[in-house]
Structure 1
Amino acid sequence: MKKRILTLLKILVVFFLMLIITGYFFVNNLKPTYEGNINLQGLQSTTDVYFDDYGIPHIYAKNETDAIKTLGYVHAQDRLWQMELLRRIAPGKLSEIFGEVAIENDKFNITLGIDEYSQKTVDSFDKNSETYKLSMAYLDGINQYIIEGKTPIEFYILGIDKKEFTLNDVHNIIGYMAFSFAMAYKTDPILSSLQAKLGNEYIKELGIDINPNSTLIKNYNNTNSIIAREVAKIQGKSPIPAFIGSNSWVVASEKAKNGKVLFANDPHIGYSSPSVWYEAHIKTPDFESYGYYLGGVPFPLLQHNREYAYGLTMFENDDLDFYQEENHPTDNSKYKTINGYKPYKISNKIITVKDTENIEFKVKSSIHGPLINDAIKGLESKKPLAMSWIYTKTPNKILEAIYKMSHANNVGEFKSGVSLIHAPGLNVMYGDNNGNISWIAAGKLYKLPEKANPKFVLNGTNGKDEIEEYLDFSQNPQAHNPPWNYVYSNNNQPDSIAGMLYPGYYLPEDRAKRTVQLLEEKNDFDVDDYKKMLNDSKSLVAEELSKIIVSEVKSASKTENEIESIKILENWDGNFVKSSIGATIYSRFVFLFMRNTFEDEITKEVFFDFVNTHIMKRMIAQQVRKEESIWWDNINTNEKEVKSDIFKKSFSETVSSLEKQLGTDVNSWTWNRVHKVEHTHPLGSVQTLKTYFNVGTYDIDGANEVLNQQINDYTLDATYNIHAGPSTRRIVDFSDVDNSWSILPTGNSGNPLSKHYRDQAEMFANGEFRKMRMNKEEIEKVSTKLILTSIN
C-alpha cells in the first residue's frame, strides 16, 4: 500500500512538473520575436529591423512599400490586442468578447454612425493614390502576422479568434479617436438644464454668453443632464482611453542656444496599459520617419525626421451640437421640420453578445443626425434628441491628410495636408530645419445664426438653428514665424482670423500662463530647458489663489491644524511636487469650495457631472477671485451666504477631511500620499490578473492644469485617480536631431510577456527621458536584429 502511494505521488509530481514546463514554454512562445529570420510575403527585397534597447523598431528597407508592410507586421506582434480593441469600439463589437458588460458601450457607439461613415469613406477612396497603396501594404503586414504569427495571451484568456484587418477598421479607429475629443456631450445638455432651472443670470456667471434674443428651448427637460453622466460612464468602461488635452511649444532659432529650432509636444491622453503610441523609425533611400502610431493606423500622428517635426494638441473647438426634435403627434416615425413632417431614417442594428442572446435595436436619424435617446439609459421616454457631429457630415480625408503631413517636402505641402482634416479639431504644431515654426488649427469650422447658442441644445424644428456657413481653411486660427519667435498651444481660446470667436470648450489659463512666462524668460533654450519645462509642476494661478484663500480664512481659523495649514498655504509656491503639503491642502479646498458654491443650486448628482467639465475647470480661478456672485448664497438655508462664508466653511471641511484620511500630523500630508498613477489593462480589473497586466502604482509629480499635467477628477477620495496625462514627452533639437528625446508612460510593447511592456514606466514617473535614436551605427550597438525576407 505504501509503495502504491509513493508511486502515485511520484506520478503526480512528474505530472505537475510537466504541466509547469509545458506552461513555461507555452507562455514564452507568446513573446514577440525581436531577432532572427522571418518570411514575409510580397516584399520586394530583404528588410532589416533593429529593435533597440527600448524595443523600438528601426526599419531599414529598399523602398517605402516594403518598410510599411514590415511596420504592419512588427506593429501587430507588439500591439495586436490593442488593435483588436480599437477596431471593435466604433462598430459596437466589444460585447462579442466582454459579454453583457459592454452592451451599453456598443449601443452608444453604433448609434454614433461611425461604422457606416467609414464604409462610405472606403467606397470613395482613390484606389490609385499612394495613401491607399501604402495603407493596404500596412494592412497586409498586420494580416500576415495574424495568419502566421503568435497569438496574444489576451486572445487565449477571452477565447477570441484572430481576424484580418480591413480599411474599414482603420477608419473606425480614426473615428473613435475623433469622438473621444468631443466635449459637447459632457456640457451642452447640462447647461440647457441649468438654464431652464435657474435662468440666465446664473449661466452668465459661468462665463457663458447669453444673447437676449437667443432661441433657447423653453422648459427644456432637465432630466437630459443625464447625457453627460451616462456618456461619462460609457467612456469610463471603454477598454481604450479617450484623448483629452495637450501641450506643445516651438521656439525659433533666435531663441535657441544652438541656433536651430527646438520642438516639444506632449499630447494628453487617458492612461492605459499598453499606452496609446507605438514608436517606430523607418528609413529608405528616399524617405525617413520617426513616428508615433495609433494601433491599426498606417501613418504617424506625431513625427519627426531630419527636416521637420510635427505634433498635436486638441483644438477643443465645438464640432458637435444637439438638436431637440419634435415627433408627429400621432406617428412617432416622423418628426417636425420647417417643411412639414418627415420620416426618420431607421436602421436595424444587432449586437452580438458573448454567452447570451443577441440584442436587436433600431437607430433613428433626423436631418441633424442620430437620435441618442435609445442609446442612453434614462432618455428612452424623453423628447427626441439628435446629435449633429461634423465628423460624419463631411467627406473624410483624414488618412490622406496624415499621409501628406508625414511626407511633406516643405511647410507649404505640410499645411496642404493639415487643411484636409475636418474633425477632430487639432492644433498642429510644426518646426523645421530651415527655421520655420508654425501653429495651425485644423478642423472644419462653421457658423450658426447669431441667435443660436451652440452651448445649449438647439431647436431642430424651425430651421433657425441650422449651420449657415462652413469657413474656408484660411479662416482657421494659425501663426507662421511670428516676430516673438515662438508658438505654443495649451488648449486655450485662440485669437480670431474670421472676425468671430470660435465656439469651444477651452481649458483654463493656467498652463498657457506658465508656458508664456517660461518662454519669455530666455533666448537661449536648449534640450535641458525643455526637459524641465515638460516636467514643470508649478501653477502661477494656484499660487495666486492660495494667497486669496489665506486672506479669506485667516481671521476665522481656530484649530491648531487649521492654523498650521494656513501657514503652509501662505508660503506655498504653487508647485505640485511629491513632497508638497500645500498641493494637498489646496487641491482638497478647491473641490470643497466648488461643491459649497454650486451644489445647492444644481443638486449633488448634477454637480458631480459638471465639476469635471472644462467650463467648471475654468470657473475655479474666476470664482475664487470674485467678490460678488449669485452662486455664493446657499438656497437651502434661511441666511444669505457671502464669499467669506463659503471660504471658511470649505477650509474647515478641508482640514477635517484630511485629518480623517491622512492623520492629524499636517506635516505628513505630502502630495505623494494622495497623488498616484496606475496604468490599467482591460483584464487588470480581475484581481488575480492585476499584477500581471497593470503597470504601477507610482507616486508622481504634477496635477490638473500644470505643464506636467496629471489629470484626476475632483473628488473627496483619499487617493486621487490619475486617469490621464502625457502620452509621450517629445523634444526634437534640429541642431542635433540624433540627440532628440522622448518617453512613453509604460513601454513600446503591448505584450505583457515582452521586456518592453513596462520598461519606461518608472522613468516616466520620475520625469526622465531616453533617446529617439536615428543614427544607424548607434542603433546597431544597442539592438537585436530581425531580418524579413520575401517568400516569393
Structure 2
Amino acid sequence: MRFFKKILLIIVILLTVAVLGGWVYLNSLKPSYAGEVELLAIEENAEVFFDDFGIPHIYAENQQDAMIALGYVHAQDRLWQMELMRRIAPGRLSEIFGIDMLKTDTFFKNLGIEEATSTSVKNLNTNSKTYKLAQAYLNGVNQFIENGPTPIEFTLIGIEKEKYQLNDIYNILGYMSFSFAMAHKTDPLLSVLKAKLGDSYLKELAIDVRPNTTLIKTTNQDIDTYENMVSSVHCIMNALPIPPFIGSNSWVVSPKKSSTGKVLFANDPHIGFSQPATWFEAHIITPNYEMYGYHIAGVPFPLLGHNRNYAYGLTMFENDDIDFYKEENHPTKANSYKTPTGYSAYKITSKTIKVKDAEDVIIEVRNSRHGPIMNDVIDEISQTSPIAMSWIFTQFEGDVLSALYTISNASKMNDVKQGAAMIHAPGLNIMYGDAKGNIAWWAAGQLYKHKPHVNSKFILEGASGEDDIVNYLDFSENPMAENPSWEYVYSANNQPDSIANTLYPGYYLSEDRAKRIVNLIEPKNNWNKETFGEMINDVTSAVAPQNIQQLIAVINTGNLSSQELKALNILKNWDGANQIEAIAPTIYNKWIFTYLKNTFEDEMGEKLFAQFVNTHLMKRMIAEQLQKNASIWWDNVQTPTLVEDKKTILTNSFIETVSKLETQLGNDILTWNWGKVHTLEHKHPLGTVAALKSYFNVGPFSINGAKEVINNRGYVYNTTGIYNVTAGPSTRRIVDFSDIENSMSILPTGQSGNPFSSHYKDQAEMYNKGEFRKMKLNKNEIISSSTKLTIAKKNE
C-alpha cells in the first residue's frame, strides 16, 4: 500500500510540475506590455505606453528611435502574421505548409514580384529618409526575433525564425498590390462567354462590347483554357493564409456640411477577415513628428493615419491595371514567339521552390515582352496557346514604400497629393481631410490607353502589337476632386465620373453603397461624429427595395400559396435594412441567388456560373438586369419548347426560394432570422486543425449587414442558403477635427495576433455591435490608462 501511495505521489508531483512548466512556458510567450527592454542602436530611451486596448503610443526623441521601437512592438504582437505576409510573393509558403501550397507558390513565383522588388531596393536612395527609417523598423523587428520569445505557431509548425530584410517589405507590398486586382477573375471569364455565347449576351452584362471591337478568333480549346484559368487563379487566391483587399468606403465632409464647422473624415477599408486581423495600430510621437497610423504586417509606414493636422485613408480604385495577351509561338522553333518586328525568344528563368518534407521543385518561368506566361504555372492550361499577363506593378517601376513615407510625413495637403502621384500600382483612392478645412480625393495608379478597337476586359491579341498600350497618362489626368463645390468627397469603389470625356476601364462595383452614401450625405449639413458613427454602421440597401419592386410588378399573387404570400408581404414591407433579427434579408438573398442561377446558369454552365457570381460584374448587373423586360438571358435554353420571360423566371425563382427555405429553416417563416444564416468567424491558419480551432479562431458570431450595404459583408452565393461572411470592414474609423482627441475606431478582433495576449480578441464584441473606442492622442489620458514599456539604450 505504501508503495502505491509513493507511486501516486510521484505521479501527482510530475503532473503538477508539468502543469506549472506549461503555465510558465505559455506565459513566457505573452507580449511584454510593461517593464524594460534594452535595444541596440537606440540613441535615447523611448517610452511605449500600451493603452487599455493594447495600442502602443511610442514617445521618442527622434523618428529613428521611434521606428526601432515600432518594429519591436509590432513583431512581438504580429510576428507570425509578418512571416506569412513575407512568404507569399516570393513563393515560400511550401517551406512551412508543404506540398499543398506548391501550386500557390508556383503561381506567385511566376508573377515577377521578386524581380520588381530587387529593382526597387537596388534603386532606393540609401541616404533617403524612407531607407533609413525602414532599416530602423527592420532593426527593431530583428532584435525581437533575436531576443524575444518564439510565437507558438512557429513551434507548432516547426519552423525557424529568420531576420527581416528590405526585400521582405517590398514583397509584402507586391502581394498587397496583386490582391487588389480583379482582372484575373474577370478577363478570362468574359473571353469564354464571348466565344461561347457571342456579343448579344455580353451586351446584356453592361461591359461595353463595342461593335467595332476586334478580338482574337477563339477555338473550343481556348474556351477550355480561359475557363480553367479563372478557376485555377480563384482556387489559388482562396488557398492563401492571408486575405485579400476587396473594396472599401470613405467619405469626407467639409466644414460647411458639419455641425462643428470642422472637417469630418470616415474610412472603412473592406478586406478579407482573418485572425490576426489586418491592421496594427501605432501612435508615434517625437518632438517634430506625430502620427496615429494603421500598419499592415511587416510595413513600417502606415497605409491609414491621422494627427492633429490631417487625416488620410484609402479605398480600392478598381481600375484595370492587368491585361492578358494570347501570344503566338513559332511554328517550329521552341521558346520563340511572334512580335510586331519578327520572332523573339522568351526570357527563361529557373527558380527553386523549397517544399517541407519533400524534394525541392525547380520551375522555369517564361516571359514574353508583355509579361509572364501563365500556362507555365497553371496546369489546366499548360498545353494551350501561351497567355501572358501584363501588370503595371511589374511593367512600370514604382516605389509604394516611398509614397507611403511621403503621405505619412506630410506637412501640407500637396505633400499627400505628391505621395499619391508616386503610386503606379495598386490603384487606390487616397482620401484626405485636414484641420484647415481642406478635403480631397485622388485616384492613384498609372492609367493608360489602348487603341479605340481594344476592349481590355478580354484576352487580347499579342503578336501584332495592335492591342498593346499606346500611351500612359500623366497623374494630372487621373480622377480627383479637391475642395469641390458640393462640399464632400467619397468613394465606394464605384465608377469615377469622366475626366476629359473619358471613362477609364475598371472593375468597379455597383452603385448600391455609393447611392446610399450620397443619399445620406447630400441633404444634411449638420454632420457630427455620432451621426458619422451611425452612417458607417448603416446596413440598409438603397437598391434592394427597388429590386423587390421588379418582382412585385410581374408576380401573379393569385397563384401563390399562403406561405408564399406571407414571404412576399415581408419583402414588400422591407426597408432594405439587414439586421440580425430581420426575416426579409434571408428571403431576399435566397431569391437573388435563385434568380441569378435560373437566369444565367443555363447558358453559362455550372462551372462558369460559379465563377461569375464571384466577380464584381455580377454585383454590377443585378439591378440593371432586373429592370429589363426583354433580355436574351431570360429564356432558359435547356427548355427548347418553351420561351421563358422575366415574369416566369422571377416568379418561379420566388416560389423555389420559399420552398427551399422551408426545407432549410422550417415552416415557421418568423424564425427565418438573418443571423441564423449570416455568420462571421475570424479564421487563423492553424484553426483548420480541429483541436486548435477554439484556441486560434474567433467566433463564429451572428452578424448584421449584407453585400453592398455601407456596413459591407462579403460572402459567396451558393445553393446551401448559408452565408459565411469572409470579408468586411477591416476597421471603422472616424476622425473629427473639432475634437481630434476623441476620434474613434474599432478593429474586428483585437490589436494583438498573439493568442495568449489579452488583446487577441477584446474588440470583437464591440465590433459586432457597431461600437467604437478612442484613438487616443492626449498624453495624460494615455498614461492614465496604460502600462509602460521602456525601450532603453543597450551598450554594444
TM-score (norm 2): 0.98
Report the counterpart of residue 735 of structure 1 in structure 2: 738
Report the counterpart of residue 487 of structure 2 in structure 1: 485
Q: CA deviation at 1:557?
A: 4.1
Please, which of 474, 477, 484 is the counterpart of residue 475 of structure 1?
477
AA in 1 matched with 2:338: K
Report the counterpart of residue 202 of structure 2 in structure 1: 203
Q: Do 1:554 and 1:566's aligned partners in 2 also have CA atoms closer than 8 Å?
A: no
Distance of 1:268 and 1:682 partners within structure 2? 20
Q: Give the alignment of 1:409-558 within 5 angstroms.
A: 409-555=411-557, 557-558=559-560
Distance of 2:508 and 2:251 partners within structure 1? 17
Q: CA deviation at 1:714?
A: 1.3
Q: CA deviation at 1:376?
A: 1.6
The answer to whether the aligner puts 1:245 opposite 2:247 as a matched pair is yes
Distance of 2:488 and 2:668 partners within structure 1? 46
Report the counterpart of residue 756 of structure 2 in structure 1: 753
Distance 1:14 1:328, change over 3 A: same
Distance of 2:551 and 2:735 partners within structure 1? 40
Q: Do 1:476 and 1:498's aligned partners in 2 also have CA atoms closer than 8 Å?
A: no
Q: CA deviation at 1:454?
A: 0.2
Q: Do 1:557 and 1:563's aligned partners in 2 also have CA atoms closer than 8 Å?
A: no
Report the counterpart of residue 395 of structure 2 in structure 1: 393
Query: For residues 485-519 of structure 1, what are the alpha-carbon distances to aligned partners after superposition, in whole Å with 9 as ceiling and x for unaligned?
Result: 10000001101224311000000010011000110
Please, which of 359, 362, 365 is the counterpart of residue 363 of structure 1?
365
Q: Do 1:556 and 1:648's aligned partners in 2 also have CA atoms closer than 8 Å?
A: no
Q: Give the alignment of 1:557-568 within 5 angstroms.
A: 557-568=559-570
Distance of 1:465 and 1:383 partners within structure 2? 17
Report the counterpart of residue 222 of structure 1 in structure 2: 223
Distance 1:556 1:443, change over 3 A: farther
Report the counterpart of residue 49 of structure 2 in structure 1: 50
Q: Do 2:52 and 2:786's aligned partners in 1 also have CA atoms closer than 8 Å?
A: yes
Please, which of 770, 782, 785 is the counterpart of residue 782 of structure 1?
785
Report the counterpart of residue 16 of structure 1 in structure 2: 15
Please, which of 285, 288, 301 is the counterpart of residue 287 of structure 2?
285
Q: CA deviation at 1:213?
A: 2.3
AA in 2 matched with 1:133: K
Question: Percent of aligned positions with the same letter in both sequences?
Answer: 54
Q: CA deviation at 1:717?
A: 2.1
RMSD (Å) for aligned C-alpha atoms: 0.9
Q: Do 2:538 and 2:711's aligned partners in 1 also have CA atoms closer than 8 Å?
A: yes
The answer to whether the aligner puts 1:262 opposite 2:264 as a matched pair is yes
Q: Give the alignment of 1:102-181 within 5 angstroms.
A: 102-181=101-180
Distance of 1:18 and 1:719 partners within structure 2? 47
The answer to whether the aligner puts 1:606 opposite 2:608 as a matched pair is yes
Q: Give the alignment of 1:568-587 within 5 angstroms.
A: 568-587=570-589
Structure 1: runs of 5+ lacking an equivalent = none
Q: CA deviation at 1:342?
A: 0.8
Q: CA deviation at 1:15?
A: 1.4
Q: CA deviation at 1:5?
A: 3.1
The answer to whether the aligner puts 1:766 opposite 2:769 as a matched pair is yes
Query: For residues 286-326 of structure 1, what are the alpha-carbon distances to aligned partners after superposition, in whole Å with 9 as ceiling and x for unaligned?
Result: 10000000111110000000000000000000000000011
Q: Give the alignment of 1:333-372 within 5 angstroms.
A: 333-372=335-374
Distance of 1:198 and 1:147 partners within structure 2? 60
AA in 2 matched with 1:214: T
AA in 1 matched with 2:636: N
Q: Do 1:215 and 1:459's aligned partners in 2 also have CA atoms closer than 8 Å?
A: no
Query: For residues 387-408 of structure 1, what are the alpha-carbon distances to aligned partners after superposition, in whole Å with 9 as ceiling and x for unaligned?
Result: 0000001112111111010111
AA in 1 matched with 2:703: I
Q: Do 1:698 and 1:762's aligned partners in 2 also have CA atoms closer than 8 Å?
A: no
Distance 1:557 1:673, change over 3 A: farther
Distance of 1:77 and 1:500 partners within structure 2? 48
Distance of 1:266 and 1:377 partners within structure 2? 38
SS for the counterpart of 1:331 is coil
SS for the counterpart of 2:42 is coil
Q: Do 1:677 and 1:696's aligned partners in 2 also have CA atoms closer than 8 Å?
A: yes
Report the counterpart of residue 794 of structure 2 in structure 1: 791
AA in 1 matched with 2:203: K
Report the counterpart of residue 377 of structure 1 in structure 2: 379
AA in 2 matched with 1:222: I
Distance of 1:552 and 1:310 partners within structure 2? 47
SS for the counterpart of 2:554 is helix
Q: CA deviation at 1:766?
A: 0.8
TM-score (norm 1): 0.99
Query: For residues 58-88 of structure 1, what are the alpha-carbon distances to aligned partners after superposition, in whole Å with 9 as ceiling and x for unaligned?
Result: 0000011100110000000000000000000
AA in 2 matched with 1:257: S
AA in 2 matched with 1:148: N
Q: CA deviation at 1:330?
A: 1.5
Distance 1:647 1:736, change over 3 A: same
Query: For residues 466-485 of structure 1, what are the alpha-carbon distances to aligned partners after superposition, in whole Å with 9 as ceiling and x for unaligned?
Result: 11000000000000011111
SS for the counterpart of 1:711 is coil
The answer to whether the aligner puts 1:709 opposite 2:708 as a matched pair is no
AA in 1 matched with 2:166: L
Q: CA deviation at 1:712?
A: 0.8
AA in 1 matched with 2:430: V
AA in 2 matched with 1:458: L
SS for the counterpart of 2:210 is coil
Report the counterpart of residue 99 of structure 1 in structure 2: 98
AA in 2 matched with 1:167: L
SS for the counterpart of 1:378 is helix
What is the count of residue pairs matched by the alignment? 791
The answer to whether the aligner puts 1:301 opposite 2:300 as a matched pair is no
Q: CA deviation at 1:412?
A: 1.1
AA in 1 matched with 2:546: E
Distance of 1:332 and 1:632 partners within structure 2? 47
Q: CA deviation at 1:50?
A: 0.2
Report the counterpart of residue 689 of structure 1 in structure 2: 692
